[in-house]
């Protein structure tokens, strides 16, 4: 009886051990789709709008906006002393008035002489000279008005306006300094509308086109950006081309001007590639492998060689085919031949009661 009891105990122990060896795992299906080899290149975040503001007139600065201040389009960001220009304006207005008086006088004389011309009381030469003087006065009046408009435009230029909404990032001159018409006074940038710029080897420029999306990797994760423009011009030394990509609007608050990012640039035509989820990879001293669900739901260790990544997927080379199921949760503790229990990830439907 003791022997039978011991045998029953042993069978129960083995049964429990076999049950313990069955592991519950999550799986996903191996995919095959076209994928291009990628070259990782460095890109930089830039504002789409950066401006160095000049006044276009000479003068003494009265006030300049502080760096770091946010301004709206049309706001005054610097002001020049306009005393001299206001004096020139008053002088030119008086000149315009004088030219107007002179023209009116000559027009009256010309009208009188034209009435007398029929009675031959005046010479033809006198009439022609008066008409020429009238035309010259009219031209002088037009020129005086143009000069008046120039002074008014210069007066408007004494107040520098922000061409777009943004932030003042640099002040080149201080209040009290005399500046020339082409000297930059301050720099303003738009931090809300950003773009990515990358420089990559010129030989790969034909692998991308306007409208293509590239994967971008940075400290906050990864996202896709669309190529807005390509500048396939290079000098002999750099041998690079430039691409500019639109930064998605939802990323503007997570990334800063000047920040470096990495971009995946395709460098060869797309080929049919086997892809597995990154979560399926098991890294051990013997190498990288995945566990495939084999016959009778047993684990099969498949060594793989890694290729390019694409989001949560990665290209691999190994004895895998499209449609195979690989373990993505619980693979770290598996070994060849272990029994697997596939976890059902489908949401449970709860029957409603009335």
Residue 267 token pair? 């460098």
Q: Does 203 share its domain with 233?
A: yes
Positions of the chain with pLDDT lower than 70, given as ranges = 1-21, 118-121, 235, 344-354
Residue 204 and residue 95 in one domain: no
In terms of C-beta density within 10 A (0-12 exposed, 13-18 middle, 19 or more buried), how is residue 283 classed?
Answer: exposed
- Are 63 and 106 contained in the same domain? no
Question: Does residue 257 share a domain with residue 222?
Answer: yes
* pLDDT (0 to 100) of residue 122: 73
Comparing CA positions, the residue from 90, 143, 134, 99 lying closest to residue 114 is 134
pLDDT of residue 119: 65
The domain boundary, picked from 215, 242, 266, lies at 266
- Among candidate residues 189, 211, 239, the one where a domain is terminated: 189
Structural contact between residues 45 and 256, judged by C-beta atoms closer than 8 angstroms:
yes
Are 71 and 166 part of one and the same domain? Answer: yes
Bridge pairing between strands 186-189 and 282-284: unpaired
- Is 177 in contact with 184 (CB distance < 8 Å)? no
- The whole-number pLDDT of residue 84 equals 94
Give the separation between CA 41 and CA 115, rounded to whole angstroms.
Answer: 86
Closest CA to 245 of 216, 218, 217: 216
Name the DSSP letter for residue 177: -
Q: What is the pLDDT of residues 61-119, one digit of tens each?
A: 999 999 999 999 999 999 999 999 999 999 999 999 999 999 999 888 888 877 777 66
pLDDT for res 345: 57
Please tell me the distance from the alpha carbon of residue 125 to that of residue 182, in angstroms, as a whole number.
Answer: 51
Residue 169 has a pLDDT of 94
**CATH number of the domain enclosing 309:** 2.40.420.20
Predicted pLDDT of residue 44:
95
Identify the pLDDT of residue 22. Answer: 78
The Cα 137–Cα 133 span in angstroms is 6
Q: What is the CATH number of the domain that holds 54?
A: 2.40.50.100
CATH number at residue 218: 2.40.30.170
Coil, strand, or helix at residue 254? helix
Distance of CA 146 to the CA centre of its chain: 43
Alpha carbon distance 327, 325 (integer Å): 7
Q: Let me know whether 210 and 320 are in one domain.
A: no
Give me the number of domains the chain comprises. 4
Tokens (6 digits) for 163: 């061409």
Last residue of a domain, which of 221, 251, 266? 266
Shared domain for 29 and 129, answered yes or no, is no
Q: 223 is written with which tokens? A: 């996202």
Express each pLDDT in 292-326 by its tens digit: 998 888 999 999 999 887 778 888 999 998 999 99
Reduced to 3 states, what is the DSSP secondary structure of residue 128? helix
Maximum alpha-carbon separation in the chain: 162
Residue 349 lies in a domain: no
- Residue 34 tokens, joined: 């076209």
Which pLDDT value is given to residue 67? 95
152, exposed or middle or buried, with CB in 10 Å at 0-12, 13-18, 19+? middle
Tell me: do 75 and 166 sit in the same domain.
Answer: yes
Q: How far apart are CA 289 and CA 283, in angstroms?
A: 7
Domain containing 236 equals 38-48+194-266
Helix 124-157 × helix 83-116 angle, to 10°: 160
């Amino acid at each position: 009886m003791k022997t039978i009891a011991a045998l029953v105990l042993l069978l129960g122990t083995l049964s429990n051990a076999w049950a313990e060896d069955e592991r519950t795992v999550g799986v996903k299906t191996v995919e095959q789709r076209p994928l291009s080899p990628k070259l990782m290149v460095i890109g930089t975040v830039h504002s789409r709008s950066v401006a160095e503001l000049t006044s276009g007139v000479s003068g003494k600065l009265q006030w300049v906006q502080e760096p770091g201040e946010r301004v709206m389009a049309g706001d005054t960001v610097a002001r020049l002393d306009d005393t001299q220009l206001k004096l020139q304006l008053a002088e030119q207005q008086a000149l315009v008035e004088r030219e107007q008086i002179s023209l009116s006088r000559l027009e009256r004389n010309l009208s009188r002489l034209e009435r007398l011309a029929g009675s031959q009381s005046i010479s033809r030469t006198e009439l022609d000279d008066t008409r020429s003087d009238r035309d010259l006065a009219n031209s002088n009046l037009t020129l005086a008005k143009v000069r008046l408009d120039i002074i008014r435009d210069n007066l408007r230029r004494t107040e520098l306006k922000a061409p777009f909404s943004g932030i003042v990032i640099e002040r080149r001159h201080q209040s009290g300094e005399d500046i020339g018409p082409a000297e930059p006074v301050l720099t303003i940038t738009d931090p809300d509308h950003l773009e990515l710029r990358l420089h990559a080897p010129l030989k790969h420029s034909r692998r991308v086109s306007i409208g293509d999306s590239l994967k971008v990797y940075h400290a906050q994760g990864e996202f896709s950006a669309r190529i807005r423009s390509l500048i396939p011009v290079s000098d002999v030394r750099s041998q690079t081309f430039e691409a500019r990509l639109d930064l998605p609007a939802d990323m503007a608050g997570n990334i800063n001007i000047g920040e470096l990012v990495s971009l995946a640039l395709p460098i060869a035509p797309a080929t049919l590639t086997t892809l597995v989820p990154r979560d399926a990879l098991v890294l051990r001293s013997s190498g990288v492998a995945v566990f495939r669900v084999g016959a009778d739901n047993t684990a099969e260790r498949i060594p793989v060689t890694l290729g390019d990544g694409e989001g949560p997927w990665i290209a691999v080379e190994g004895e895998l085919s499209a449609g195979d199921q690989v373990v993505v949760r619980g693979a770290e503790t598996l070994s060849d031949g272990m029994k697997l229990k596939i976890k059902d990830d489908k949401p449970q439907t709860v029957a409603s009661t009335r």
